[in-house]
């Protein structure tokens, strides 16, 4: 994002956990929805809406590793990888201080 504003799509805690978990994988690697859900402690069906929104934004891609009965896998796209570090860098900046006043 070029405006420097937080991406509202990733700002949601559930979607941020999804992005952060997928970002820990090697580029191009994916995991199943069930494994992702278990890793970040979401209830069954919990990540589906977040995954759909992240997919529409182009941050993740889905696929299968086999035939019709193979579970769907989720992987982070380059756009999704680029969005995560930008957000975390903004959160890591020290708070701005007013001249002559120490941060509280």
Task: Dump pLDDT digits (tens) for 41-95.
Answer: 888 777 788 888 999 999 999 887 666 677 888 999 999 888 876 555 555 555 5
What does residue 13 show for φ and ψ, rounded to 5 degrees? Answer: -55, -40
Spatial distance between the Cα atoms of 80 and 61, rounded to a whole number of angstroms: 10
Q: What is the pLDDT of residue 61?
A: 92
pLDDT (0 to 100) of residue 82: 84
Section 10-38 average pLDDT: 88
Q: What is the pLDDT of residue 77?
A: 93
Q: What is the pLDDT of residue 5?
A: 64
All domains of the chain in start order, with CATH: 8-88 (1.10.10.10)
Burial 8-27 (b: 16+ CB within 10 A, else e): ebbebeebbbbbebbeeeee
């Amino acid at each position: 994002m070029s405006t420097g504003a937080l991406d509202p799509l990733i700002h949601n805690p559930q979607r941020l956990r999804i992005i952060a978990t997928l970002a820990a994988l090697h580029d191009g690697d994916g995991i199943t929805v069930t494994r992702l859900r278990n890793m970040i402690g979401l209830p069954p069906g919990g990540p589906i809406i977040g995954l759909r929104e992240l997919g529409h934004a182009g941050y993740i891609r889905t696929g299968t590793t086999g035939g019709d009965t193979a579970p769907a896998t989720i992987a982070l796209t380059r756009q999704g990888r680029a969005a995560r570090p930008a957000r975390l860098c903004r959160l890591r900046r020290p708070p701005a201080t007013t001249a002559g006043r120490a941060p509280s």
